[in-house]
Amino acid sequence: MVVETLAVAVWAMLPAYVPNNAAVLVGGGPPIDGGRTYGGRRLLGDGKTWRGTAGGIVAGVLLAVALDAVRPAVVAATGLDLPGFPLSAAVALAAGALLGDILASFLKRRAGRERGAAFPGFDQLDFVVVALLSTAVVAPAWVGRVFTLPVVVVVLVVTPVLHLSTNAGAYLLGLKEEPY
């Protein structure tokens, strides 16, 4: 029961987890804000690029398609009731995760924090909250069925742990400039 809740939470959120990591790998090039400023500070900053955003969405959607393809085999092997991914949910999870990260950068810049500065709490949960809300808008029935209250609670607890550990790993591998 607990194992299944944890498995469903991580499985269903994987298409939202991967886009930010993929953006770190493929990011670069022209920033989304085109260098524009607002109130004397960058609108978003050089850390939010078109390439990173597009690459992140593609990575998240491809992962959802792959999970969907292996789902029958995984369900047969584990007996866990893991959900499939309608395309609308896949796109919303991936795009919503990046939108959350972009909105957090907007707020960070307004709060006077430079690119790369830590924003505890926001850094770890911005993308989950916006990914879930976006998906609830485009695929409400799917979200209602998959994200039961226990699953949502597990997502909110497990995501910061996963986020901090993957970022620390990316930092140690030299892929990211800060360990958070």
| Interaction site with ligand CTP (CB under 6 A) | 23-24, 27-28, 45, 47-49, 52-53, 98, 101-102, 105, 108, 115-117
Shortest approach of ligand CTP to residue 64 CB, angstroms?
Answer: 18
Pick the closer one to ligand CTP by CB: 26 or 158.
Answer: 26
CB distance 98 to 57 below 8 Å:
yes
Pick the closer one to ligand CTP by CB: 8 or 108.
Answer: 108
Phi, psi (degrees; rounded to nearest 5) at 49: -115, 160
Shortest approach of ligand CTP to residue 88 CB, angstroms?
Answer: 21
Query: How many C-beta neighbours within 10 Å does residue 99 have?
Result: 20
Q: Which helix (H) or strand (E) holds 15?
A: helix 2-26
One-letter amino acid identity for 67? Answer: L
Pick the closer one to ligand CTP by CB: 72 or 116.
Answer: 116
Pick the closer one to ligand CTP by CB: 135 or 167.
Answer: 167
Shortest approach of ligand CTP to residue 22 CB, angstroms?
Answer: 9
Cα distances (Å, whole numbers) of residue 138 to 72, 73, 90, 149, 152: 25, 27, 10, 19, 18
Shortest approach of ligand CTP to residue 44 CB, angstroms?
Answer: 7
Q: Is the dihedral of CA 14, 16, 18, 21 positive or negative?
A: negative
